[in-house]
Homo-oligomer: A and B are copies of this chain.
Amino acid sequence: MFENLPAKVKIVEVGPRDGLQNEAQQVATADKVALIKAMADAGLANIEVTSFVSPKWIPQLADASEVARCLSELKLDSVKTSCLVPNLKGYERFKESKIDELALFMSATESHSKKNINKSIDEAISALKEVSVVAKADGYRIRCYLSVVFECPYEGKVPSKQVLQVTEKLVTIGVDEVSLGDTIGAATPVDVYKMVNDISKYVDKDRLALHFHDTRGTALANVIAGLSAGVTIFDASLGGLGGCPYAPGAAGNVATEDLVYMLKGMGIETGVDLEKLVDAGALAQKLLDKQLPSKYLRAALATREKAAGKQESCV
């Protein structure tokens, strides 16, 4: 099982977008920028920084253009930034933003697609193609989030054949990387292993990312299954920022700290400095004024507090 682990893994940090868009608390633009800077300082090299989805839908990220402007001034040369783009109007804002990559999104099931964006899958693909054609012509790399890949809140378990069909359509319209999302956090490791195996018979594994929500606690176990199946790109959010619109109060994305700790322990390079990542996680907790779900973050901060106090240290 652990004989063919990759030497390194690419982590796509989605906290500033998928995380913050699901947090009730608004974060000020300057604080968002400071948080992204702390992430970059920790060595996160791929950060989804915001979204150009209408502020009507996602008020938390209404300051997308301003965040992008501040980031371009910071010149974070070590980071590839990305952001969510819903349509051609969003693409125009994206082009002005100097963000490096764009991320599209759609659903793996008809019902979720209809409920989420009021389009069938074919209609959604057509709409994405309008953006992808111009984006490719402009020379951009394109990622796409595919939602409810493993289980749909309306249709239940999703057959891999269906996910494969949509994934192939996305590749055909020019998408470079498809992030397979367990949107409701219901997948277990066998689901993940089978899905990746089935899809990667037809789609290059290098194009596949996995995006786990930790709603039922299985996210890191699912990462193990994904690694075993040959995936080397994983989305994560700092501190486990975010939530699940289908289970109020539930956990967000898999926490970047926990993911990095586990991969490091397995001898897999991520380019991330865990201590600096904890600094960034502590900043996120301060900005949101709450404890985030990451267990590594909590344990590391408890260890720091213990070391700072005069207690006898056990370690």
Q: Is the CB of B188 within 8 A of A302?
A: no
Q: Is the CB of B188 within 8 A of A265?
A: yes
Q: Is the CB of A299 within 8 A of B250?
A: yes
Q: Is the CB of A262 within 8 A of B188?
A: yes
Tell me which of A19-27, A33-41, A50-58, A219-227 binds B.
Answer: A219-227
Which of A5, A299, A314 has the most C-beta atoms of chain B within 10 angstroms of its own C-beta?
A299
Tell me which of A64-72, A125-133, A290-298 binds B.
Answer: A290-298
Complexed CA–CA distance, A217 and B251 (Å): 13
Q: B193, B223, B251, B314: which contacts A1 (Cβ < 8 A)?
A: B193
Q: Which residues in B have their C-beta under 8 angstroms from that of A315?
A: 153, 246
A190: Cβ under 8 A from any B Cβ: yes
CB distance from A249 to the nearest CB of B (A): 5
Q: Which residues in B have their C-beta under 8 angstroms from that of A314?
A: 153-154, 245-246
Q: Which residues in B have their C-beta under 8 angstroms from that of A193?
A: 1-2
Q: Which residues in B have their C-beta under 8 angstroms from that of A220?
A: 217-218, 220-221
Q: Which residues in B have their C-beta under 8 angstroms from that of A251?
A: 295, 298-299
Q: Is the CB of A217 within 8 A of B302?
A: no
Q: Which residues in B have their C-beta under 8 angstroms from that of A303?
A: 247
A109: Cβ under 8 A from any B Cβ: no
CB distance from A97 to the nearest CB of B (A): 32
Q: Is the CB of A258 within 8 A of B302?
A: no
Q: Scan residues 178-230 of chain A and give those whose CB is less than 8 A from a CB of chain B.
A: 185-191, 193-194, 214-218, 220-221, 223-225, 228-229
Tallying the copies of this chain within the complex gives: 2
Which of A1, A214, A302 has the most C-beta atoms of chain B within 10 angstroms of its own C-beta?
A1
Q: Is the CB of B216 within 8 A of A248?
A: no
Q: B190, B225, B258: which contacts A216 (Cβ < 8 A)?
A: B258
| Chain B residue nearest in CB terms to A248 | B302
Q: Which residues in B have their C-beta under 8 angstroms from that of A105?
A: none
| Chain B residue nearest in CB terms to A194 | B2
CB within 8 Å for A190 and B250 given contacts A255-B217, A299-B215, A299-B216: no
A306: Cβ under 8 A from any B Cβ: yes
Q: Is the CB of B188 within 8 A of A261?
A: yes
Q: Is the CB of B215 within 8 A of A295?
A: yes
Q: Which residues in B have their C-beta under 8 angstroms from that of A299?
A: 185, 215-216, 244, 247, 250-251
Q: Which of A's residues lie within 8 Å of B, judged by CB?
A: 1-2, 5, 153-154, 185-191, 193-194, 214-218, 220-221, 223-225, 228-229, 244-251, 255, 258, 261-262, 264-267, 294-296, 298-299, 302-303, 305-306, 314-315
- Give the top 8 A-B pairs by smallest Cβ distance, nearest first: A188-B265, A217-B258, A217-B295, A220-B221, A1-B228, A1-B1, A190-B266, A216-B296
